[in-house]
Amino acid sequence: MALKSGNWPELLKLKRKLGRLEKRFHKSICHSNAVKIYPLSPIQKGHLNMVNQYAGNLIRINRCIDQDKMIQAILKLIEVQSLLRSSVRKKDGGFAWYEHGFSENIPIPFIDLAGYEIGFGKQFEKAVLSLYFGRNYFSLGRLAYSIFLIKNNLREYTVVFPCSHSVFDAMSDEVIQRSLHTYYEKIKRNEPITSESGYDEYILQIKKGPQQISEAELIALFELEDYKRSLLALKKSLRKNKSLDCLEFSINAKEINLHRPWEFSFSLFVSLCARYFQMTKIPLQTIYYGRHYQNRYYFDLVGEFLDIVPLLIDTGQDIKAIISNTQEKIKQLPEFNINFVSLLFDPDLRSKYPDIGKMLLPDKDFFSTPLIIFNFEGEVKDFGQIYNILKINQERYRKFPYRLLLFHVVYTREMMKCFVVTNICQDLTRVETILAEETATACKKLESMEG
CA–CA dist 168, 146 (Å, integer): 12
Contact 308, 182 (CB under 8 A): no
Check if 5-196 and 211-450 are the same fold: yes
In degrees and rounded to multiples of 5, residue 436 shows phi and psi of -65, -45
Instruction: Render 66-104 in DSSP notation, one character per residue.
Output: -HHHHHHHHHHHHHH-GGGGEEEEEETTEEEEEEEP--T
Domain ranges of the chain: 5-196, 211-450
Say if residue 436 is exposed, middle or buried (CB neighbours under 10 Å; 0-12, 13-18, 19+): exposed
Question: What pLDDT, on the 0 to 100 scale, is given for residue 53?
Answer: 58
Which 8-state DSSP code applies to residue 204? Answer: H
Question: What pLDDT, on the 0 to 100 scale, is given for residue 94?
Answer: 87
Is 0.85 surpassed by the pTM of this model?
Answer: yes
Contact 143, 87 (CB under 8 A): yes
Which 8-state DSSP code applies to residue 414? Answer: S
Sign of the dihedral through C-alpha 62, 147, 291, 339: positive
* Residue 428 C-alpha from the chain's centroid: 24
For residue 417, give the nearest of 425, 406, 408 by alpha carbon. 408
Write out pLDDT tens, residues 95-142: 999 999 999 999 999 999 988 887 888 888 888 877 888 787 878 899
Q: Which residues pair with 297 in a beta bridge?
A: 292
Return the CATH architecture of domain 211-450: 2-Layer Sandwich (3.30)
> What would the 3-class secondary structure string for 142-153 be?
CECECCEEEEEE
Question: What pLDDT, on the 0 to 100 scale, is given for residue 125?
Answer: 84
CA–CA dist 297, 28 (Å, integer): 31
Say if residue 447 is exposed, middle or buried (CB neighbours under 10 Å; 0-12, 13-18, 19+): exposed
CA–CA dist 330, 322 (Å, integer): 12
Return all residues near 429 (Cβ < 8 A) that are at least 6 apart. none
Contact 374, 407 (CB under 8 A): yes
Question: What pLDDT, on the 0 to 100 scale, is given for residue 91?
Answer: 92
Question: What pLDDT, on the 0 to 100 scale, is given for residue 397?
Answer: 54
CA–CA dist 101, 79 (Å, integer): 8
Candidate CATH numbers 3.40.50.720, 3.20.20.70, 3.30.559.10, 1.10.3720.10; the one for domain 5-196: 3.30.559.10
Contacts within 8 Å (CB) and 24+ apart, 14-23 = 14/111, 14/113, 14/124, 15/124, 15/127, 15/128, 15/131, 17/111, 18/109, 18/111, 18/128, 18/148, 21/107, 21/109, 21/110, 21/111, 21/148, 22/109, 22/146, 22/148
Q: Per-10-residue mean pLDDT for the chain, 451 residues long?
A: 56 92 96 94 80 75 95 97 95 93 96 88 83 81 94 93 89 93 97 90 96 97 97 88 83 78 94 94 94 94 95 93 95 97 94 94 80 90 59 53 87 90 90 93 72 55
CA–CA dist 361, 8 (Å, integer): 52
What sections of 112-252 are H helices per DSSP?
118-132, 170-188, 199-207, 215-221, 224-237
Question: What pLDDT, on the 0 to 100 scale, is given for residue 1?
Answer: 34
Contact 147, 160 (CB under 8 A): yes
The residue count of the chain comes to 451
CA–CA dist 56, 61 (Å, integer): 16
Question: What pLDDT, on the 0 to 100 scale, is given for residue 420?
Answer: 92
What sections of 259-346 are H helices per DSSP?
261-277, 319-335, 340-345
Produce one character per residue of 134-164: b if its CB has 16 or more CB atoms within 10 Å, e if not.
beebbeeebbbbbbbbbbbeeebbbbbbbbb
Contact 153, 27 (CB under 8 A): no
CA–CA dist 164, 144 (Å, integer): 5
* Residue 182 C-alpha from the chain's centroid: 23
